[in-house]
Amino acid sequence: MRSDNPGGSAVRSIVVAGGGTAGWLAAAYLNRALGPTVKITLVESEDVPPIGVGEATVPTLGTTMRFLGLEDRDWMPAVNATYKAAIRFVGWSKDVDAGGTRLSEYWHPFREGSEIYARPWADPYFGQIGDGIASIHYALARRLSGKATGLLADQLVPTLELCRRNLSPKNPADPTHDVRTAYHLDAVLLGQFLRELACGRGVERIVDHIVEVKRDPDSGNVTVLELRSGGRLEADLWIDCTGFRSLLLGKSLQEPFLSDSEHLLCDSAIALPTRHKENGGGIPPFTTATAMSAGWSWDIPLSHRRGCGYVYSQAFITPDEAEAELRRLVGDSAEGNEARRIAIRVGRYRRPWVNNVVALGLSAGFLEPLESTSIFLIEYGLANLVTFFPHSAESEAHATAFNREMNDVYEELRDFILMHYVLANRADTPFWKSAASDAVLTDSLAERLQLYGESLPLQDSRTFALFRGFSHMCILDGNGRAPAQPHPLFGLHGTNAGDQMLDDLAKRREACVTSMPTHAEVIEKIYRR
């Protein structure tokens, strides 16, 4: 890529290569952000089916949808969406002692405290009392003293009890007690919904197959996409959303791929649509991640069915064996449904923005969906592309800044996912033994685990992180690895104020749980509108 050139060609046309969730979210987002002065075209092939399955998200999707001008009622029914307040981890730890309570499962609820989600529930990690000590230290001290048992998060947020009772994390009629929530959705339907939205707002759709990517021999920039129909597409800026094929960034520009297979062992997945359980009890407002013999399974409750699957390593189980194990887990609720097998490659391209090509979604890289970050990485890429949008498609400075941000967040998420395996309190199969002993621990995660092994920091010093101290605490605590003592400053202050704060939180939790309708009731009301 050439250096910044203020006199270079301004970006007036963008072509998105590939549809699906990544492509159509990119088209809709950039159309909304850039307005009518930039022409946006999307080309997708009917020969390439979307990867999307029943999928879970993180809370940022609500913000993205509001940026597109949409409230929950405007889009959730179109994609069979439900709310998601937490992830339930089953079987990752064997009989962990949590202050006298024996646990074989744990939870990761979403943290509170951003300006976007200004709710009465203060962030349980950053939420402080008068002496500046975060509330989590008081919860830990109370449990260590024997005054409380169970998971630390149960002392701080109502989310876990809402999930156990299948109550809604949101109440549209009265948002007083709302907790932070994400979504479960059908990713194929989401792509279709965004397609209609984007095309209705002026994005041009071309249904054709890319047969050749042409580049300028001097600059290396992509200049033309040759189509099967004989058509040609030209653009100032190209968005590669061609999935694992990565036709522009990986195949044409030959950007190096950096594998993370030495850290994360799973290389395959099976997706299996499943009916809701007949004995039901309603629609769970949480994702379930169940440890399996060679990986883990997901169970994502949509409005009309469940999206289930198995992320596994073929080094420890064959695809046929993995499908049989998954079908045993879900039982007859998947009878008659065909499973889809998916090869995955964990890692990322060294630079997602090269020359005049920006890759998003699977074209840029992939992390297994243990913490539901796939759509988030598309959202974050789009937000950063707008943030660093160049005067000229030849701006090297903007690409450098974008690549730094995307690589940093990828590494943060990779470490957080790896932490689940490293801390898992089980070694009963060859996979889990290897995940604990053979998987390479990153230097950054090793440093963080050493820090947490001594005590939780008083504050989380990072300027941005999707999963901050509270999230790390949930994984540590669920695996029996919470610090054996609170922060050193805790002992220099009295505990009366902390006891009062925790008592007040307990009253608010009870008020929340007793006031919330069921998740199924709320979803039904949203769908009726």
- Counting every residue, how long is the chain? 529
Residue 413 is encoded by which pair of tokens?
């998420």
Beta strands in 365-504 (DSSP E): 365-366
147: which residues sit within 8 A by CB, 6+ positions away?
none
Whether residue 142 contacts residue 502, with contact meaning beta carbons closer than 8 Å, is answered with: yes
CA 113 – CA 440 distance, rounded (Å): 34
- Would you call 252 helix, strand, or coil by DSSP? helix
- The span from the CA of 86 to the CA of 179, in Å, is 10
Across 394-498, the runs of DSSP E, i.e. the strands, are none
* Whether the Cβ atoms of residue 501 and residue 129 lie closer than 8 Å to each other: yes
Q: Which of these is catalytic: 39, 84, 170, 251?
A: 84
Active site residue 433: no
Distance CA 212, CA 232 (A): 10
Q: What share of residues in the chain are helix, strand, coil (percent, to 5)?
A: 40, 20, 40
Q: How many CB atoms lie within 10 A of CB 473?
A: 27
Residue with tokens 């943060």: 412
The answer to whether 58 and 261 have CB atoms below 8 angstroms apart is no
Distance CA 150, CA 157 (A): 13
Point out the residues that are catalytic. 84
